[in-house]
Structure 1
Amino acid sequence: MSSGDEAGDINVPEKEYDELKQSEDPVTSTFKLGPQKGQNLKTVHKYNSIPFWQLNCLMVMVVLSASGLVGPEDLVFVLFSIIYLFFLSKFAFPKLTDPSEEPPVFDPESYLVRLGPLFGGFIGIVLPLAYIFEGFIEGDKEGIRTAAPHVFLLASQVFMDGVAFSDRFSTPIRVFVPVFYNAKRIFTLVDWVKIEFSKADGQEYGGSASERRLFLGRVLAIVNLVFWSYDLFFFLLPVYLPRAFRKYYAAAKAD
């Protein structure tokens, strides 16, 4: 073992522990900000960093909000979801045991569990962001404004998923985030589809590039509407939600 590895495994001294220990943020404390007694410096570094995917989603939220592409109703919705999440955690579904010690609702090694979020993020965030950036070049202001709310809400959902999967929230709270946000985004996706199909061919701008963008916008809006509708009505509500609640109330009965 190298000297650098040995240094990384040294336990944090009592004095440094008191200096490094910080109070947790009430919203983003998914990640421990200070070392616990007995932890080493590698463990402290692991819990001090926000995951890359969650940080990127936060940046997308900030950029879209600052650009004026997100309406005040969507901003209020995200703020309300944060407040309501803590309300449910306090009065409806308090933490019964340490969620990190509970078995997961689904097998994390399952291909569907691993590939589903990747596919959803690709068609729900990556491709719409590319569509939005191209819209600035093409001058498609209407297309940008209809796609931006969906991207903002999905980025907010991913960020809040990271918060809900901390050790301070119970399993039903973890289900609350995707169900709550998916239900909201269905309406934004319907609006996106309506506006894309209300555009007449060549009305906004001319040329083959415009026709290609019109076609891609319609396909992207339909694919997202179908995928997230299926996710909500055929997976989250009939499958994920019942399993999570059975797991939670079984633990409550055991206690």
Structure 2
Amino acid sequence: MQKSLTGKVVLITGGSRGLGAAMAQAFADHGADVAISYAASADKARAVVEKLKATGVRAIAIKSDQADLSTAKPLVDSVLAEFGKLDILVNNAGIVNQGQSVDDASLDEEKYNRQWQVNVMGSIANTRAAASKLTDGGRIIFIGSLLGSYVPFKGVADYAGTKTALGGYARGIARDLGPRNITVNVVQPGAMPTDMNKEVAGELPDLDSFLDLHPIRRFATLEEVAETVCFLAGPHGGYITGETINIAGGLGI
């Protein structure tokens, strides 16, 4: 594999499992040094780091709970202390709470409010902490969801809202940081084989009917999403900014 990201340093939030771990591996395979954050899965984070180091890159895991906005600056500072710079920020960490309609009298408002705190305010805090530290020509990539643009089933209003918010924020940042040649984009996967997406699938009345809505009738692979993110972060992605890229097999067209 071409080492197109050799010499770059990437921070991937929520990198201990699922898509985060897949992206960490893809960045390492492309030659980047990798920092991942995790909230609770210390053993999984250590396992990811050891696997990354085996490819010959430098890698670290940093405990940082995105629900606590005060952890954003120490997270970025830890990356700078270890690697001396930060070139790429991938805002991946997030949680999913869904299944209840907005008019459900039993709606757990505290749980749903925490989703906004983690998915939106936590990502914003990380971005603010990193923005002035990123090298010129750097990259910021938000991992959204197709639900941010297209909602094919009920019970996902708050989750969809958090992901839609990231799109507007990213476009604003693209304007702010464009003069430094920093690109800012959102990648919106559809359904993927992750623990989080299994929770989503469990809310569907008929999984087969859901798949039938896809022109390409399958879920995305983690590798497909990870390689798209690496492309945006790489040398050929420097003129793509303020965009939302769907990886969802045509769902919603």
**Normalised-by-shorter TM-score class:** 0.3 to 0.5
Question: TM-score with structure 1 length normalisation?
Answer: 0.32
When you count strand as a share of all residues, which structure comes out higher? 2
Q: Which is greater in Rg? A: 1
When you count helix as a share of all residues, which structure comes out higher? 1
Question: TM-score with structure 2 length normalisation?
Answer: 0.33
